[in-house]
Amino acid sequence: MKRASIIEEIVNERNRQDEKWGEQNHNPVEWMAILMEEVGEVSKEALEYHFKHKDKTEQSLLNYRKELIQTAAVTLAMLESLERNELNNS
């Protein structure tokens, strides 16, 4: 998969998040809590792939990949919020 298509998936996930939650404007500590929850989900999928899926199923890798996309989208949301709320005020 090419980088551009992965970035497009991240942007699509950001759009989905905005549709679900609306514009999010958290402080950096709150954003880190949200991001770490997402990172925890990535970790869970990696551990399940490694230890539970002896056959290393494609579905388990797709779950891992899905969580990575969501984590990247949250990171993008953090940057958007920072630009909108903190850096524009300087």
pLDDT tens digit string along 14-64?
A: 999 999 999 999 999 999 999 999 999 999 999 888 887 666 677 888 999
Give the confidence band of 7 by pLDDT, cuts at 50, 70, 90.
very high
Count the alpha carbons within 13 Å of 58 in the hemisphere toward its beta carbon: 0
Amino acid identity, position 17: Q
Provide the sign of the torsion angle of the four alpha carbons 89, 33, 14, 50, taken in this order. positive
Contact 82, 32 (CB under 8 A): no
